[in-house]
Amino acid sequence: MAFDLVHYFTAQIKLQKPQLFSTHTDTEKQAHTEEVNALALGQLISLWKQDRHKLYQEVLTSDPLYIQGIARHLTTSAHNQSNLRPSDLESSISEVLSLQLTELKQLDETGSFGENGLTELLLGQIEHLSGQAADWVWSTNQLTELLGSKPAPVQDISLEATIQEFNQMVHQAQPSEHDAIATVVESQSTPSWSSLLAPLVALAILLFLYCSYSQLIAI
């Protein structure tokens, strides 16, 4: 497995460029740093796959105009969904790209990588980039093999929420106080003596019907 440049570059951005995203909260700063780092590094890998010799020369020279052109291309891409303002995004990409190229040059010089060595190192970063950013980043920098690599967020279910849901279920299953009172009132509204008279009334009706039937027969 290749050396992890993704996290190495993130650490160097924080160390060498502390002013980057300084107006944002710590959480936002971390998110923007990781996002721009992945966006820039992914673009370098895509360009390296297209023409590694040209990119190797750019590593050696770090042409500011070339860096600015890449930053503008990424910023104006139809796939760009960054929350940063276009001007802030373009400037931050330029700074991060410049840092990445400088670091790659130093690694090349100290490790004697050469073009072939840097090719292996950069292409090995695809594995480290997997799952590190949203799909729009990979669509923007054309590293499309990483589309869908970031897992969907899983909603944490707290113990408190679980207990609350259980209590609600139990409450719904039990009759409410209002229903209980209504049942009692209904039972109390019917007098007990009516249940005693009901058989007598029924007997009287039967006797009346029998007498009427007997008279009809007699006629």
User: Which of 85-113 are b and which e, b meaning 16 or more Cβ less than 10 Å from the residue's Cβ?
Assistant: eeebbbbbbbbbbbbbbebbbebbeeeeb
Extract the tokens encoding 217. Answer: 């027969």
Q: What percent of the chain has pLDDT over 70?
A: 73
Q: What is this structure's pTM?
A: 0.69
> pLDDT at position 208, please?
72
Q: Is 136 helix (H, G, I), strand (E, B) or coil?
A: helix
Q: What is the mean pLDDT of the chain?
A: 84
Q: Is the pLDDT of residue 15 over 60?
A: yes
> pLDDT at position 14, please?
95
Q: Is the pLDDT of residue 147 over 60?
A: yes
Residue 193 C-alpha from the chain's centroid = 68
Q: Is 187 helix (H, G, I), strand (E, B) or coil?
A: helix
Phi-psi region of 51 (alpha: psi -120 to 50; beta: other; left: phi over 0): beta
Sign of the Cα pseudo-torsion (33, 80, 38, 71, in order): negative
Give the amino acid at 125: Q
> pLDDT at position 204, please?
75
Q: Is the pLDDT of residue 159 over 60?
A: no
Q: Is the pLDDT of residue 97 over 90?
A: yes
